[in-house]
Amino acid sequence: MKRAIVTATAALSLVLAFAAHARGIDVDKVNGSIHIEGDQQAGDLSTVNGSIRIDSGGSAEEVSTVNGGIDIGDRVTVDSIETVNGGIDIGAGARVAHTVEAVNGHIDLAQGAEIGGKASNVNGRISLDAAHIGGGIETVSGDIDIGANSRVEGGILVEKPHGFSWGRNKNPRIVIGPNAVVEGTLEFQRDVDLYISDTARVGTIVGATPNRFSGDHP
């Protein structure tokens, strides 16, 4: 009986060790940047006053920083991304399983990149280059550029600023490019400049009058 218990305990320890290795090591820093080199696997990555970079082919779980940018390389896979006061760049063919959130920072998706959940920010550009977002786009004062052949499910929401705001005064510029698709409601709670390609396909528009254009750009 004792031998069976010892054997089972050893087997469980081996399984847990293997799982930890497969998931990768968590990294948590203050006043420092994090760099995951190509094809390496990491766990949760978190830093304050520093940037995070994951080279092409790598992976991680939750990726977050305060006062720093996040650079996700080509073909990288991560669970979620969040930053305060920093931009987010997602490389070609990269995959984010859930949400991408930025406060005071841009979100750029390169060709073939994909976000399974929502992409949201307060200030800063959100742009897609033949990319895909599965859970919609939300912003308050940021421009949105849904490039040619991109696809967004879950619609677009541009929220009205609440209370005193240091946001810019000019209207957010929303462009939906050639052959792009936006499924769901496009809701604008503040004035925006909305441009939609004559080959794009969009859902119901609430709160704005679209300006149609031909060619690559309005």
In this prediction, residue 53 has a pLDDT band, given cuts at 50, 70 and 90, of very high
Closest listed residue to residue 137, CA positions, set 176, 186, 210, 88: 186
User: Which neighbouring-strand residues pair with 158?
Assistant: 139, 188
pLDDT by residue (tens digit) across 92-135? 999 999 999 999 999 999 999 999 999 999 999 999 999 999 99
Q: pTM for the whole thing?
A: 0.87
Q: Quickly tell me which residue has 């969040």 as its tokens.
A: 82
Read off the DSSP letter of residue 41.
Answer: B
Q: Which two tokens mark 206?
A: 């609430």
The better pLDDT of the pair 9, 199 is held by 199
The answer to whether 167 touches 123, Cβ cutoff 8 Å, is: yes
Rounded to an integer, what distance in angstroms lies between the CA atom of residue 84 and that of residue 109? Answer: 18
Q: Is the pLDDT of residue 40 over 70?
A: yes
Distance from C-alpha of 90 to C-alpha of 70, rounded to nearest angstrom: 8
On the CB side of 38, CA atoms within 13 Å amount to: 3
Question: Distance between CA atoms of 7 and 17, rounded to whole angstroms?
Answer: 15
pLDDT confidence of residue 24: 83
Domain ranges of the chain: 26-213
**Cβ–Cβ < 8 Å for 58, 39:** yes
Q: Check residue 52 and give its pLDDT.
A: 98
Phi, psi of 2 (to 5 degrees): -60, -40
